[in-house]
């Protein structure tokens, strides 16, 4: 027996010994030798389909995440985009919080690996920092503007022609038929407060403009920041993921 064959058989034997299969109602529960963040083994729930198998986590991944996180945020904004990206890359789907994959009968083992890998990545979303999520927000904002406006119609990091202008930099100055549009991206309470101060100061020194605030997730901001932003801005988009709303607001103020 060659060394390669020996290693392969050894690994297969060791792996199979740690796989537990049991009946669980209408499903087969397969516990795999791969550990989730809470220390428990990943378990896949198998159900027969016409052409093979439906492999599911039975909603356990979102249940574990909900202990320390507001999982409603995973359906919108940057978190929602990350979540949907993980599902797409892993070939998984979400059915009301239940993550699953359907595979032909001869792809069962591959499906188990794909499901488990995807579930592990979804659980890791709880570890992502606000700064990582925020960095994608500004990339998304730039891409969104480029998708609806000519490149020469807006200026990024515009410095107003006032005393101490650099201290009151505008994220985007957009040309319009009337007053220019000052657009700000807000991805957290710190940026919300800086934006509020900037808007109030620009108004105080006599700048003429229409302001639009675009948020990564307006609902995640503290209530006081909600109030201050709404009073300071002319218009706002609560969630950049809502591209139709974003496009409508920008084009409305340009005309």
Looking at residue 218, what is its pLDDT? 84
**CATH number at 130-254:** 3.40.1350
What is the DSSP track for the chain? Answer: --HHHHHHHHHHHHHHHT-EEEEETTEEEEEEEEE-TTSPEEEEEEEE-SSEEEEE-TTHHHHHHHTTS-GGGGGSHHHHHHHHHHHHHHT-EEETTEEEEEEEGGGHHHHHHHHHHHHHHHHGGGG--HHHHHHHHHHHHHHHHHHHS-GGGEEEEE--SSTTGGGG-EEEEE--SSSPEEEEEE-SHHHHHHHHHHHHHHHHTT---EEEEEES-GGGS-HHHHHHHHHH-SEEES-TT-HHHHHHHHHHHH-
Q: Assess whether pLDDT exceeds 90 at residue 214.
A: yes
Per-domain boundaries in the chain:
3-127, 130-254
Q: How confident is the model at residue 125 (pLDDT cuts 50, 70, 90)?
A: confident
Residue 237 pLDDT > 50: yes
The pLDDT tens digits for 51-63 are 899 999 999 889 8
Q: Is the pLDDT confidence value at 133 over 60?
A: no
User: pLDDT confidence of 15, banded at 50, 70, 90?
Assistant: low
Mean pLDDT of 122-130: 68
Output the pLDDT for position 239: 85
pLDDT tens by residue, 84-99: 888 998 899 999 999 9
Q: What is the pLDDT of residues 148-167, one digit of tens each?
A: 999 999 999 999 999 999 99
Instruction: Pick the more confident residue, 32 or 146.
Output: 146
pTM of the predicted structure, to 2 decimals:
0.54
């Amino acid at each position: 027996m060659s060394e390669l064959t020996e290693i392969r058989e050894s690994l297969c034997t060791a792996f199979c010994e740690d796989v537990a299969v049991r009946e669980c109602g209408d499903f087969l529960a397969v516990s795999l030798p791969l550990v989730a963040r809470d220390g428990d083994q990943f378990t896949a729930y198998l159900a027969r389909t016409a052409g093979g198998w439906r492999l599911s986590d039975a909603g356990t991944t979102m249940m574990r995440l909900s202990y320390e996180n507001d999982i409603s945020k995973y359906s919108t904004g940057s978190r929602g985009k990350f979540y949907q990206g993980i599902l797409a890359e892993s070939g998984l789907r979400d059915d009301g919080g239940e993550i699953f994959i359907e595979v032909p009968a001869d792809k069962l083992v591959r499906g188990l690996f794909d499901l488990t890998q995807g579930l592990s990545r979804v659980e890791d979303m709880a570890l992502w920092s606000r700064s990582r999520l925020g960095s994608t927000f500004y990339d998304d904002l730039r891409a969104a503007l480029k998708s609806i406006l000519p490149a020469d119609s807006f200026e990024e990091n515009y410095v107003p022609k006032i005393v101490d202008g650099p201290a009151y930099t505008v994220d985007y100055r957009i040309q319009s038929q009337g007053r220019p549009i000052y657009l700000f991206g807000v991805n957290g309470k710190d940026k919300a407060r800086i934006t509020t101060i900037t808007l109030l100061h620009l108004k105080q020194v006599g700048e003429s403009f229409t302001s639009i605030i675009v948020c990564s997730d307006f609902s995640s901001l503290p209530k006081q920041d909600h109030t201050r932003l709404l009073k300071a801005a002319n218009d706002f988009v609560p969630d950049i993921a809502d591209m139709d709303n974003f496009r409508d607001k920008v084009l409305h103020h340009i005309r």
